Copies of this chain bind each other. A is one copy, B any other.
Amino acid sequence: MNTKFQQLVKLFQKLPGVGPRQAARFVIALLDQPEENLKELGESINHLKRDVRFCDECFNVSSNHSCSICHDTKRDRNKLMIVEKITDLESVEKTGLYKGLYHVLGGAINPLDKINPASLRIKELEKRLDTMLALRQAQGDNLELIVATNPNTPGETTALYLRDILANKKGVSITRLGRGLSSGSNLEYADETTLKHALEYRK
């Protein structure tokens, strides 16, 4: 095997979910593309950190200090959805159903992977909340924090932690995304945890 070939296969394997076989197919596919495509892809990766940055407020990707969502005056500033990753934010945006703001934590608390509260953007969230709340006091509006971390152990741990540290903020109500039966599922075949949540979240 060619060593430069193998080297690039190794580099592609650092991307999330890419195994040795897919990585090899990527390199073979690149060999079939014209020289200028390789140049364009190579340069874009080279300059990625120079060209793309994160929003100072919500940590979404951005070309400026403030991202297009934080900028948008039509968004509902009484709702702040807390997500783990930018890809979660994009999934919610794609539905077009949510019109509030976001806060990207950068992950979820997971002692096994050595991700603790300090590794996440929780300090930044607290600071941001204080600023938002100070500005709002006159208006008397309530701010809804929608904790949209994932329904797995790290996501639940993070949700509990956030409730703990934010519970005593005035003018803030904390909600969690609904749990229960998914569309097209069947009561008869639902597992116990799902039925438990379906009972808890009934309304």
Contacts from A to B (Cβ < 8 Å): 1-5, 7-8, 11-12, 14-17, 21-22, 24-31, 33, 35, 37-49, 51-54, 61-63, 67-68, 83-88, 90-92, 94-95, 97-98, 146, 148-152, 175-203
Contacts and interface: CB of A to CB of B under 8 A. Distances in A.
Nearest to A23: B15
A177 to B, nearest CB: 4
A174 to B, nearest CB: 10
A45 B52 contact: no
A46 B39 contact: yes
Contacts of A177: 180-181, 187, 198-199, 201-202
Nearest to A46: B42
A161 to B, nearest CB: 18
Contacts of A35: 49
Contacts of A33: 14
B87 A28 contact: yes
Nearest to A53: B2
Contacts of A22: 17
Contacts of A41: 8, 11-12, 14, 45
A9 to B, nearest CB: 10
A91 B190 contact: yes
Given A88-B187, A178-B201, A61 B2 contact: yes
5 contacts: A38-B45, A97-B196, A146-B199, A178-B198, A203-B203
